[in-house]
Structure 1
Amino acid sequence: MYNVLLVDDEPMIREGLRTLIDWGELGYQVADTAGNGREALEKQERLNPDLMIVDIRMPGMDGLTLIGHLREKNEHLHILILSGYADFDYAKKAIQYQIDGYLLKPVDEDELTGYLDRLKKVLDAEAAANRRHSAMSEWNRERLIQTCLEGAYPEDAADSLEEAARESGLVWPSYELLLVRLHAEQDLDSGVFAYMKRRFVTSFEEAGRGVVFYAEPYIGLLLREPLQSEYQSARVYRDIANIAAERELRFTVVSGGAEERLTDLVRAHATAVRLMNLRFFYEEGRIIGEQTEPIDHKLADEADEHDPFDPDSIAEKLYLTLDIGNMEAAKQLAAVAGEAMLRANFSEQEIKTGMVQLITGAIGKLTLHRQELQERRHELSGGIIGLYKPHTYQSLIESVQALLVRAMEGLDAGGTDRQIMKMIDLIQRNYQQPLKLEMLADVLGYNSAYLGKLFKTTTGEYFNSYLDKVRIEKAKSFLDQGMKVYQVAEKVGYTNVDYFHSKFRKYVGESPSAYKKK
């Protein structure tokens, strides 16, 4: 629809023109009316109509004076003049202002419709030309920016680039380059990418904040003003987040820093790409810049305060945590494992592989005696493979924790008595493992002394005594099957044969060899 502003000092004529024809059917809409020349100037400035129909005779500022002012501001504005028979000669003077036509009062419907039909064809042609010009200007501007980012020009072409920058409206006091990477569960559809770029144009380019351009596989933002404060950075990040939220996309945004010349953007681009390639190691929720500290650097300072990364110990704890059903402890262990790998200076791929191995081992071991998990093996396997997809450490940990929660669905943790019974069941099935009360207390979220008292109250035995008795009973069974003493010792969890001998004699009253001879 093309917007029309009606200007006449007589209210009846203004209202008559508004209702005389079906403007919408002709491709127009009456945006507003004005009762005098000064009001018309103010509304033209605000509404920017495509067509104005102006009365030639008005008190104060007459039609010709108004048209003169309008032409000073906009030489392309289309204008139709309203005049009475007595004013016709006077109206001819308006020819110097490139008037599109004259309408005599009272206005004839067919005459007005004829003018509007012809003008619509002109307006359509102008709109098409403007779109072509805009598209060509945008294409030329993007080519210029990409040329500067890549540094793909001879040294003697700097002056030509500066001239092209002036023609493209890109001569600014400074430039700050941002690259935005959009992340989706599947490959990002080209239509979604184009939509997101248009939204960036609306938020940044049309608001006069900078220029938006393609920088595959990123969307580039060239800001007019450098981000000199946390407030400025947070505002830009929030605006990008709001756009990404429309399509439920995660994203990473990096800054290559500020430069004073367009031709120096090659340096900013190199910095931005380097930071983008390291995005896995940065916290989400902010623009990543040269001064942003990576997560692994923060944790490296704490390395001396923590035990070295022990994947076997963490894997065993995670398995026990899952088996007992302590969801919060399992999620915490995932975070602990990730931080341990960061402190050990693991690469992104090494961390993802480490997490996959950890979760595969724990869930695989749990699946051996959990029928309900065996039925969901395919579903959980897909989730494990998906752990290679997250683009940041934070999203990886969230994905691991979500997968653990899914694995534990339907595995009831129960109350205190239920927890002790789970411990007993766990001992019966894992007696050969290096089980410690402290480890179980850790995965259950209890103080070890308190858990030991609960266990003694429920079973009548201390934890270590109970574990020893289970192991010895299992050892007797293996000896009855004809296994050698050293084999039995290892099979029931004793790495030292002499220690096994002493425990066996304590609870059976004779040595394993003597028992075997019976």
Structure 2
Amino acid sequence: MYKIAIIDDEEEVREGIEDLIQWKDHGFEFLGGFENGNEALEAFENQIPDLVLTDICMPFMDGIELTRHIANKYPFTKVIMLTGYDDFEYSQQAIKLRVYDYLLKPFSSKQLRSVLDKVKLEMDEEYRQKEDLNKLKLQLNQSLPLLKERFLENMVTSYTKIEELTEKLDFFNIRLIGACCVAVVIDVDDFGERSMSQTVTEKELMYFAVYNIVEETMGGDKGGIVFRNRFDKVVVILSSEDKTHVYELAQSLSEETRQCIEKFLKFTVTIGIGDPSSSPQGIVNSFQKAIAALDYRFLLGKNNVITLADLEVNNRTRIEIYPEWEKKLILAIKTGTGKEVNAAIEECIRNLKQSFIPMQRCYFYIHKICLSLVEAVIGFDETIIFEDPLNPLAEMYSFKTLDEIELWLKKICKQAVGVICSQRNNISMSKMVMAESYIKENFSNEMISLNDVCRHVHISPSYFGTVFKAHTGETFIEYVTRIRVEKAMELLKRTDLKTYEIAHETGYKDPHYFSLIFKKKAGVSPTEYREKTRSDPQHEVEED
């Protein structure tokens, strides 16, 4: 069932379309109708539609600008424009944005049903192509020769003289766009619901499906050199004439690839990005950094795009890792207090995540905790804790994330509680403080965006969204809106500025949209708020 949303500033049009169609009969789930593009984009943060029906001419944000936002942020969402005959110039812009189709107002229910059926068939075909195992088998048989993959793996893992490297690149007909290179490594987290029932052949086909999608999103006209290494990871070498450009390209294509695999294959991958190099020989160091970034999945969890720049800063605050956890856990084990055992495990995992220490050091501390568990149960049946008492720690090294380690520790301690709500480390916290400061200094700029903040604090957008929400309890849009409304309240109480002047001071170009947002957040219009606070001093104190 595909998800559909309608955006039109005329309520009767939205309701008319909603009532006109039996959505489920056409394979769609109706998400809702929205008055303008801003409302729609805010709603899409929680639930992404597969298809959007939008009017072109709307206040605050028209259909063209909304489509541009959708194309940038949700590349797999299709857009159908609802337009009048006088909107021809807009329609030309829509074509440039690769809008799927458009309907001329007024249109009949038959016309709308026809378009819906057409777009559904196309989306069904897209899914079918990605899942068609017979096609995947054929593509597998036509994959790059083994010698080429061996060369590419050797290229990223060991230093090669420039003359030999150039000669082999020519031999295999591999073309670099420029001298600046960056390595990207894609690793399957797991196969989701398919993991338990898959045969070896099916798993190989799914690995190749990942390779195929990476080739489509990063290879071809994007210039990426894609291959699969001996550890079932897909590696991409991206190149450009400029280091900054190739690094930004790696981030944007990696995020698109992550979304595409999750959407079409129904499982997740984690992607590590290395540092950009100024020469092809530097790809060895970039690859090592990409693998190191991938290791941080152990701390951050699955389904992320990770760069070391997101994580590493100087002057990291040292966190005491082990003694207190060991004491609490051993005391709980000896007293048989299940609640305290659970709390000790959660504290252990939480602090390991906050420390952002390398994966091998995490294993070291968990190893010590497990040995303490063994010591604590000497004289008891050790099979209660470990499935294999002779080698109790072997299973630990099969896990890819600290979340899995947590479940394992709870399992061996016979506890069954929910997962912990982790807090990010001091590094991430300091970057979130920088982000808040930047927003508070620049909220009056109507063009401020999440990407602006990410560039300021040097964090990728996908990582920033997760950490910022954990730090503030709000999304980026919710936070900026709250800061702007609070500043507007202050100006309404303390100054005689006109409403349109306050709107400009708080980052809103359109005074009417400012008033709409203010009333939505404050419960009253700006004028009513000013009158109330000035006529009721006690109310003003309470607002402060």
Give the alignment's TM-score, normalised by structure 2: 0.38
Query: What TM-score comes out, normalization by structure 1 length?
Result: 0.39
Which of 1 and 2 has greater Rg? Answer: 1
